[in-house]
A and B are shown apart, each in its own frame.
Chain A
Amino acid sequence: MEGAVFRPLRVSCNGMSKQTAALLEARGVAKHYGPVAALRAADLSVAPGEIHALLGANGAGKSTLVKCLSGVIRPDTGTISFGGRAVRARSPMHAARLGLAPVFQDPALVPDLSVTQNLRLTGMPLGRVRAELAAMELSVNFNEQVGDLALPVLRMLDLARALARDPQLLILDEITAALPSDLAERVFAVMRERREKGRSVLFITHRLAEVIAICDRATILRDGRDVGTMVPREGGEARIVEIMLGPEAARAEARAAELSEDDVAVAPDARERPDAVAADAVLELDGLRAGNVQELSLRIAAGEVVGVAALEGQGQDELFEVLAGERKPESGEVRLRGKPFRARHPYDAIRKGVVLVPPDRLLALLPQRSVRENVAAPHYSTPLRWGPINMRDEGRRVRHAVDALQIDMRAARQVRRLSGGNQQKVTIARWLASGFTTLLCNDPTRGVDVGTKRQVYTLLRELAADGAAILFFSSELAEFPLVCDRVLTVYGGRVTAELPGPAADEASLLQAMHGLDLEEAVA
């Protein structure tokens, strides 16, 4: 069946079986930036009509390999053959003409032009892109300026543009990272459809559940080398993590995982004492309205992690903005330790101990400055004493925070050179160093590797155990039961359901997030 649908490139593949003729064959691809090896020697083989996952921790070389394949950068050494022919893509356009269509992590759409103009720029017929969007049951106004569209929309547009070329190989670089679950489902549907047509997909993601659910094979990179190709369904999540992290790290991770499970196990005790929780409520919201937030009420006690699960645009962003002092609420009351809390500026919020870890770490960091300055930055606005900065005190606080989070300090002179996971750790470390009572985590593990994710979970549980109140949002539903004591689902700006942390499995969260009545749905 595959043979009939798979249209070979000019090379004759007729009669060859799937096993012998790989669509894409990369051998020993390497790329160095100065003395830094981004990719040491990677092999990758993708068969026609398969969904192939490319996995690895942050900094393992996934993105570099994708850039080499799609012509964004040129590899130093190595060969790439596509459809049986040796190719060397000179540019993303050239790669697209060869039949390799990438969808990158950052949308390749120009913000100041309209959607139509963007498509004309790439010489893409509007009708075909519209048809691809319609096939995914999406509609976008093409007169819209790209800069006005939300990130998930842009990703879907980018995907539709790539699909419009009907590429032999579709490369999706972390496309689901910024997508709400309903859109992610559509992407998976597209991937399966490609497979049925005999086309291939190379899928890069941090979400192992997705890999196990839909990928035929997975190649795992570690430290710039491929360390194994496996069938995810057979190996399972544990096996993937083991290969991804290497034998030693896997053992350390297992310890960390045990630790976080211990903490989750401790948490129910707190829930059994509702009076105590009510007594020391740290943060209380009463009928808050702001943008998409409609009449939202919640309370967080000291030592509690409260999750907020919601689809895209249900008010969670506004909720975080109000609490962090970036946005004025339209009405409603916010109380911090029983006293009215009004933050007109992030400065107010931070001084009162309400601090934010934003989803986009570049929003929070000073990319050109050192780790030390980044961690110490919020501290500079506290004029505890005038005169020069107390370097010794600052150094101690920063070291403490860096140690606690195990931040890789090898590239500490400029935060922008750290890997994504380490950057995210720095955004948390700054609050460890300057102190807080309430931590607002808006998708703190977006685009972070498994190891770092677990560290973040453990850290959040530890902070809660020390008495911090934590509000937690994530676009990855599997995280809620790991981290939260309670999970509130928000739909249309209102709380629709409350689930105890361990019971917040994906199915029931999804039901409630779509505004469906839980009991009804279960029954």
Chain B
Amino acid sequence: MSAPAAAIAFRGTAAWRRNLRLHGWTVAVWLVLLALVPYWRSLSQQDLEFDLQAVAIDALPLCFAAMAQAVIVISGGIDLSIGSMMGVVNVLSAKHMIGMSFREALAFSLLILVLTALAGAFTGLIITLSRIPDIVVTLGMLFVWQGVALWIMEIPGGGAPLQYSDLALGSVGSTLIPNALVVVLVAFALVWLPLRWLRPGLAIYAVGSNRTAAYLSGIGVARTRVGAYMLGGVFTGLGGLALTASSGIGDPNAGVTYTLNSVAAVVLGGVALVGGVGGLIGPIAAALVLTMSKIILLLRGTDPNYANVYQGALIIFVVVIGGLLARKTRS
């Protein structure tokens, strides 16, 4: 009888403000990268082609590590074993690829990716079944993989077929575009993009954003989290293979720095550590920024011992500025 009087339209957020908040950070990181370019060019004595190659090759393993960490952090977890798992892949591939043909090496890479995916899923299973916090389980895995790497190969050695190394070191035809960049983009397009806009990708965001709401929406929370770690395992495997291809050698300690650098890239790339927010494009740009800033400091002749101080300060500076701007757009 007393029908509702008038229609109610709920006041919302302006579209530009919403887009700024959703994508602003990613765009800003790419702008930071572009802003660094002229400075880097002014310091460098080398020609552009060589330099582009150097940055891309240097950044390749970190890009993959950042992608692995990003997927896992978006799902609400964190993986401290990424670096040491990359070390395992590095020594395992270098040890066996040294005598292989290019084709065999490619097939072997595929096998390794399957193994790392399973290893990631295993880590995820331990976390979801035992309900031990992610950080504890993956810290344990960090030591496990470190030990495994040393068990496979005690001192640096091994190698990879030349053609295989070319995947990371060469460039497309005789153009300026480095292979390393193409590899990252292909992996992004083949592995992440199909998931991102379909239910599995949405589920990863949902689980990281609010587990209860995700469960009540009918998502298999444990399954999704294991899936995120599995996907992280694939990217980690790619990172380890990139280490082998770019360095041409296996080193059990090569991966160590990548764990914390991947976290740095994720934070700098606009992925919230609480989960549910961000993407993979930001962390890729952040990995490039971190690599380029390291190269710039080298070119300036900064003592490598102090270089980390600048890098750390850069991360905090960018995140603080970003946080302040984000607060502005919120209110």
Chain A residues within 8 Å of B, Cβ to Cβ: 72, 91-93, 96, 104, 106-113, 117-118, 120-123, 136-141, 143-145, 148-150, 153, 182-183, 185-186, 189
The residue on A at minimum CB distance from B15 is A143
What are the residues of chain B within 8 A of A92 when measuring CB–CB? 215-218
The interface centre, meaning the residue of A91, A110, A117 with most chain B CB atoms within 10 A of its CB, is A110
**In the docked arrangement, what's the CA distance between A91 and B221, Å?**
12
The residue on A at minimum CB distance from B209 is A112
**In the docked arrangement, what's the CA distance between A331 and B215, Å?**
45
Shortest distance between the CB of A515 and any CB in chain B (Å): 12
What are the residues of chain B within 8 A of A122 when measuring CB–CB? 217-218
**In the docked arrangement, what's the CA distance between A106 and B206, Å?**
15
B124 lies within 8 A of chain A by Cβ: no
Chain B residues within 8 Å of A, Cβ to Cβ: 2-10, 12-13, 15, 18, 21-22, 199, 202-203, 205-206, 208-210, 212-219, 276-277
Decide: A117 and B10 in contact? CB cutoff 8 A.
Answer: no
Shortest distance between the CB of A92 and any CB in chain B (Å): 5
Decide: B8 and A139 in contact? CB cutoff 8 A.
Answer: yes
What are the residues of chain A within 8 A of B205 when measuring CB–CB? 110, 112-113, 117
- With A118-B217, A120-B202, A121-B203 already in contact, the answer to whether A112 and B13 are too (CB < 8 A) is no
Decide: B217 and A107 in contact? CB cutoff 8 A.
Answer: no
Count of CB-CB pairs between chains A and B under 8 Å: 103
**In the docked arrangement, what's the CA distance between A391 and B277, Å?**
44
Decide: B217 and A137 in contact? CB cutoff 8 A.
Answer: no
Decide: B210 and A189 in contact? CB cutoff 8 A.
Answer: no
Decide: A91 and B18 in contact? CB cutoff 8 A.
Answer: no
Contact of B10 among A107, A118, A140, A185 (CB under 8 A): A140
**In the docked arrangement, what's the CA distance between A138 and B15, Å?**
20
Decide: A121 and B199 in contact? CB cutoff 8 A.
Answer: yes
What are the residues of chain A within 8 A of B12 when measuring CB–CB? 140-141, 144, 148-149
Closest A-B pairs by Cβ, 7 of them: A93-B218, A108-B216, A112-B209, A112-B276, A137-B7, A110-B206, A141-B12
**In the docked arrangement, what's the CA distance between A189 and B2, Å?**
9
Shortest distance between the CB of A136 and any CB in chain B (Å): 7
CB<8 Å pairs between A and B, sample of 16:
A72-B215, A92-B215, A92-B217, A108-B212, A108-B217, A110-B209, A110-B213, A111-B213, A111-B276, A112-B209, A117-B202, A121-B199, A121-B203, A123-B199, A137-B4, A182-B5
Shortest distance between the CB of B73 and any CB in chain A (Å): 13
**In the docked arrangement, what's the CA distance between A140 and B15, Å?**
14
- With A91-B218, A137-B4 already in contact, the answer to whether A109 and B213 are too (CB < 8 A) is yes
The residue on A at minimum CB distance from B277 is A112
Decide: A139 and B10 in contact? CB cutoff 8 A.
Answer: yes
**In the docked arrangement, what's the CA distance between A41 and B202, Å?**
39
- With A92-B218, A113-B202, A120-B202 already in contact, the answer to whether A108 and B13 are too (CB < 8 A) is no
What are the residues of chain A within 8 A of B218 when measuring CB–CB? 91-93, 96, 121-122
The residue on A at minimum CB distance from B275 is A112
What are the residues of chain A within 8 A of B276 when measuring CB–CB? 110-113
Decide: A110 and B10 in contact? CB cutoff 8 A.
Answer: no
The residue on B at minimum CB distance from A514 is B5
Contact of B217 among A109, A144, A148, A182 (CB under 8 A): A109
The residue on A at minimum CB distance from B206 is A110
Decide: A121 and B206 in contact? CB cutoff 8 A.
Answer: yes
What are the residues of chain A within 8 A of B206 when measuring CB–CB? 110, 112-113, 118, 121
**In the docked arrangement, what's the CA distance between A489 and B190, Å?**
59
Decide: A182 and B4 in contact? CB cutoff 8 A.
Answer: yes
Decide: B7 and A148 in contact? CB cutoff 8 A.
Answer: no
What are the residues of chain B within 8 A of A139 when measuring CB–CB? 7-10
What are the residues of chain B within 8 A of A118 when measuring CB–CB? 206, 217
Decide: A120 and B199 in contact? CB cutoff 8 A.
Answer: yes
Contact of A106 among B7, B13, B212 (CB under 8 A): B212
Shortest distance between the CB of B25 and any CB in chain A (Å): 14
Shortest distance between the CB of A324 and any CB in chain B (Å): 18
Decide: B3 and A112 in contact? CB cutoff 8 A.
Answer: no
**In the docked arrangement, what's the CA distance between A138 and B4, Å?**
10
**In the docked arrangement, what's the CA distance between A140 and B9, Å?**
6
Shortest distance between the CB of B279 and any CB in chain A (Å): 12
The residue on B at minimum CB distance from A139 is B9
**In the docked arrangement, what's the CA distance between A108 and B211, Å?**
10
- With A121-B206, A144-B18 already in contact, the answer to whether A110 and B214 are too (CB < 8 A) is yes
Given contacts A108-B217, A120-B202, 18 further A-B pairs with CB under 8 A are: A96-B218, A106-B213, A107-B213, A110-B213, A110-B217, A117-B205, A121-B199, A121-B206, A122-B218, A139-B7, A139-B9, A140-B9, A140-B10, A141-B12, A143-B15, A144-B12, A148-B13, A182-B4
**In the docked arrangement, what's the CA distance between A109 and B215, Å?**
10
Decide: A150 and B217 in contact? CB cutoff 8 A.
Answer: no
**In the docked arrangement, what's the CA distance between A150 and B209, Å?**
17
What are the residues of chain B within 8 A of A148 when measuring CB–CB? 12-13, 18
Shortest distance between the CB of B256 and any CB in chain A (Å): 32
- With A110-B205, A120-B202, A144-B12 already in contact, the answer to whether A137 and B213 are too (CB < 8 A) is no
What are the residues of chain B within 8 A of A107 when measuring CB–CB? 213
What are the residues of chain A within 8 A of B6 when measuring CB–CB? 137
Decide: A137 and B8 in contact? CB cutoff 8 A.
Answer: yes
What are the residues of chain B within 8 A of A143 when measuring CB–CB? 15, 18
**In the docked arrangement, what's the CA distance between A117 and B201, Å?**
11
**In the docked arrangement, what's the CA distance between A467 and B18, Å?**
48
What are the residues of chain A within 8 A of B203 when measuring CB–CB? 121
Decide: A121 and B216 in contact? CB cutoff 8 A.
Answer: no
Decide: B217 and A121 in contact? CB cutoff 8 A.
Answer: yes
The residue on B at minimum CB distance from A91 is B218
The residue on A at minimum CB distance from B214 is A110
**In the docked arrangement, what's the CA distance between A364 and B217, Å?**
29
What are the residues of chain B within 8 A of A182 when measuring CB–CB? 4-5, 8
